[in-house]
């Protein structure tokens, strides 16, 4: 296959600009939520609270950014939360045993990446639908983590290591820097590299992608490995921020990550969406929870409000998309 | 196809059960707990093993692989009804939904002791548990007393609608009601999760410049709240519930004020003890609701011992431990 046919498979320009329009709508929605919260709560617009929201959104974003690439290929990775739990427990053990944060960080990233790679192998070589492969992986990882931890909690890590999750640099929390870096890398990778464009093409039409010479299996392996590695990164942030790890931290991370991707406008059918949209998605989810805490909304209503926001966001997305087409 | 395999498996399964029963020298006690993730149930299991060893019996642990899974515990009950252990020590994953399961055990005429969460139905020879309400009340009282009966308080709740959370939070609120000087600023959900509690605390600190006390419905959330306070260079007195190892360490280092002890170890010990005693036709106590213990800097030492090295209470102690 020639490069020319590869070029032909790239999403046409209008696709990208439509994505830009969708991101713009989302940014408006986030700003609208901010405006409402600013009116309702005096403390919302303080610098402290804004940094607070960004730092809280970062953990969801790390997991969701890798997941975005998977969803762009019309796949899904349900094992991300369980992956964070296992990677955090293993990285934590390594730091405790060796006293070396660097070794722990590497182990956490490697563990996450390896799990992602295994997901990729199941999806490509064994041709198991990603939904089922990663759901199975979720159980395997939970089983391993529960067995390994046996009801114990790991806690107490070196002060230097803890800076990653809870430290500041020039007044900004360090996770916010990491968020900006990965937002930049993710956006550049998806929009400006051949590999990124091939990922869009695979999601839009896998058969056409294969026929035009895109190494589909290799790109899919990459995408799942990236998703796993980002879960590994999230596990390091989690460890250093909370100073501890336990087996059951994963479950409550998976759904918000998937919600961030969907609110961010990435289509479950593949080929459409952006990493920046996912960032806005994570931001909207965090803003809603932050606002409910600031306004002391009763614990009874919080899941309901979050659910409505997710449904509203996806509905609005489909409506504006249809109009654009 | 699967059916045929099932028929094949049945005689194998029966053969397996028969051989284990023939080999057993002491009684076999099946112990049901809710999950592998909560350190509390680990203490229950160690307590049960400890007591069984002392009394020369054996335990078989049944734990759902998916935490608190109702269908999984139901199928484990079906399994145990076939295997017929001498007795069962049972924590329902859900106090209402597991009633049909308990009825199955009753039909199979296997004696069963209920521990931790009180089942809404079925016949038990004994109940051993702690009272979440008085645990919440006493631990909150201790915090309010430490603060001199005044100050701004926030509550971090567990999973909304769970039995433990409802009673613990009710205890917190009643302690606040009897302390007119204390002001409840907010009661927000942390779902028993460390990360969520940390974020809730970070958010609440934005809208409240002065927080003096934090009442968290479990230890993981209490420690999460402390991380948030530390991160913002603010100080408040924090309490948790469960008496986990992590909480004891935090009490020792002065970060956590107190933790209400839910006493899983004693529950495991006493539940197993009552089951074995009834099999040996010895008298049992029908109901033991353990008195709440508030673990603080002054009394943490006995809780600082590794679980495996702790000793179970005796039958004579059991009567004294219960508060009715």
The complex's ipTM works out to 0.83
pLDDT computed for residue B17 by the predictor? 45
A150 contacts on B by Cβ (under 8 Å): 36, 42
Tell whether B42 lies on the interface with A, counting CB pairs under 8 A: yes
Q: Please name the residues in contact with A29: beta carbons below 8 A apart, sequence gap of 6 or more.
A: A280, A284, A313, A316
CB A53 within 8 A of CB A283: yes
The overall average pLDDT reported for chain A is: 89
Q: What's the predicted TM-score (pTM) here? A: 0.82
Q: Is it the case that residue B14 has pLDDT exceeding 70? A: no
The verdict on a CB contact (< 8 Å) between B231 and A243 is no
CA atoms within a 13 Å half-sphere pointing along the CA-CB vector of B196: 26
pLDDT computed for residue B25 by the predictor? 55
Q: Is it the case that residue B219 has pLDDT exceeding 80? A: yes
Dist. CA A20–CA B44, nearest whole Å = 55
Q: Is it the case that residue B175 has pLDDT exceeding 70? A: yes
CB A152 within 8 A of CB B42: yes
- pLDDT band of A26, cuts 50, 70, 90: confident
Q: Who among B66, B191, B206 is closest to A294 (CB)? A: B206
Dist. CA A17–CA A184, nearest whole Å = 18
The verdict on a CB contact (< 8 Å) between B224 and A241 is no
A155 contacts on B by Cβ (under 8 Å): 223, 246, 249
pLDDT computed for residue B271 by the predictor? 95
Q: Who among B196, B204, B220 is closest to A246 (CB)? A: B220
Q: Is it the case that residue B155 has pLDDT exceeding 50? A: yes
Cα B43 → chain centroid: 8
pLDDT computed for residue A325 by the predictor? 58
Say if strands B126-130 and B112-115 run parallel, antiparallel, or are unpaired.
parallel
Which residue in the block uniquely carries the two structure tokens 């567990």? B158
> Which strand (E) or helix (H) includes residue A173?
strand A172-173
Tell whether B196 lies on the interface with A, counting CB pairs under 8 A: yes
Give the model confidence (pLDDT) of B47-84 as tens digits.
999 999 999 999 999 999 888 899 999 999 999 999 89
Q: Who among B200, B206, B244 is closest to A48 (CB)? A: B206
CA distances from A324 to A89, A201, A318, B275, B277 (A): 46, 20, 10, 69, 75
Count of C-beta atoms within a 10 Å radius of residue B80 = 22
Residue A168's SS3 state is strand
Count of C-beta atoms within a 10 Å radius of residue A14 = 10
Residue B227's closest chain A neighbor by CA? Answer: A242
């Amino acid at each position: 296959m020639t490069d020319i046919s590869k070029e032909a498979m790239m999403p046409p320009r209008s696709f990208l600009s439509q994505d830009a329009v969708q991101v713009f709508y989302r940014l408006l929605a986030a700003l609208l939520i901010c405006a409402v919260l600013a009116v309702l709560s005096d403390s919302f617009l303080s610098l402290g609270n804004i940094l607070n929201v960004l730092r809280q959104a970062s953990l969801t974003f790390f997991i969701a950014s890798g997941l975005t690439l998977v969803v762009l290929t019309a796949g899904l990775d349900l094992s991300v939360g369980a992956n964070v739990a296992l990677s955090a427990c293993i990285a934590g053990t390594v730091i405790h045993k060796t006293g070396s944060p660097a070794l722990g960080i590497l182990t956490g990233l490697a563990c996450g990446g390896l799990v992602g790679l295994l997901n990729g192998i199941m999806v490509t070589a064994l041709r198991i639908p990603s939904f089922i492969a990663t759901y199975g992986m979720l159980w395997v990882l939970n089983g391993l983590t529960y067995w390994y931890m046996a009801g114990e909690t790991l806690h107490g890590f070196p002060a230097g290591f803890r800076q990653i999750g809870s430290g500041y640099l020039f007044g900004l929390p360090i996770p916010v820097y990491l968020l900006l870096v990965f937002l930049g890398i993710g956006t550049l990778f998806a929009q400006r590299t051949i590999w990124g464009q091939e990922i869009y093409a695979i999601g839009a039409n896998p058969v056409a992608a294969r026929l035009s010479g895109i190494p589909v299996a290799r790109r899919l392996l990459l995408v799942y490995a990236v998703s796993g590695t980002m879960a590994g990164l999230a596990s390091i942030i989690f460890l250093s921020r909370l100073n501890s790890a336990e087996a059951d931290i994963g479950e409550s991370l998976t759904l918000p990550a998937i919600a961030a991707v969907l609110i961010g406008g990435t289509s479950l059918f593949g080929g459409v969406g952006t990493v920046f949209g996912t960032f806005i998605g994570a931001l909207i989810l965090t803003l809603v929870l932050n606002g409910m805490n600031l306004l002391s909304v009763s614990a009874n209503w919080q899941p309901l409000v979050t659910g409505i926001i997710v449904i509203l966001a996806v509905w609005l997305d489909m409506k504006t998309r249809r109009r654009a087409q | 196809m699967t059916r045929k395999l099932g028929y094949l498996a049945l005689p194998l399964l029966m053969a397996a059960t028969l051989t284990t029963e023939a080999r057993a020298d002491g009684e076999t006690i099946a112990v049901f707990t809710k999950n592998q993730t909560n350190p509390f149930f680990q203490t229950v299991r160690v307590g049960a093993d400890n007591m069984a060893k002392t009394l020369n019996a054996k335990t078989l642990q049944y734990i759902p692989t998916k935490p608190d899974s109702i269908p999984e515990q139901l199928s484990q009950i079906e399994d145990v009804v076939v295997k017929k252990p001498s007795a069962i020590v049972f924590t329902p994953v859900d106090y209402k939904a597991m009633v049909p399961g308990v009825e199955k055990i009753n039909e199979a005429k296997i004696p069963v002791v209920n521990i931790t969460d009180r089942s809404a139905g079925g016949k038990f020879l004994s109940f051993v548990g702690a009272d979440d309400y008085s645990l919440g009340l006493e631990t909150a009282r201790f915090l309010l007393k430490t603060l001199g009966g005044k100050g701004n308080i926030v509550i971090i709740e567990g999973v909304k609608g769970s039995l433990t959370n409802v009673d613990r939070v009710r205890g917190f609120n009643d302690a606040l009601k009897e302390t007119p000087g204390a002001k409840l600023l907010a009661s927000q959900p942390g779902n028993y999760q460390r990360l969520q509690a940390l974020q809730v605390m970070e958010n609440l600190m934005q809208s409240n410049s002065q927080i003096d006390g934090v009442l968290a419905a479990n230890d993981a959330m209490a420690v999460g709240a402390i991380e948030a306070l530390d991160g913002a260079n603010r100080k408040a007195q924090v309490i948790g519930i469960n008496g986990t190892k992590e909480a004891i360490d935090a009490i020792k280092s002065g970060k956590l004020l107190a933790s209400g002890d839910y006493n899983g170890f004693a529950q495991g010990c006493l539940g197993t003890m009552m089951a074995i005693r009834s099999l040996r036709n010895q008298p049992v106590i029908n109901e033991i609701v353990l008195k709440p213990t508030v673990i603080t800097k002054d009394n943490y030492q006995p809780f600082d011992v590794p679980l495996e090295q702790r000793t179970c209470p005796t039958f004579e102690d059991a009567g004294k431990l219960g508060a009715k």
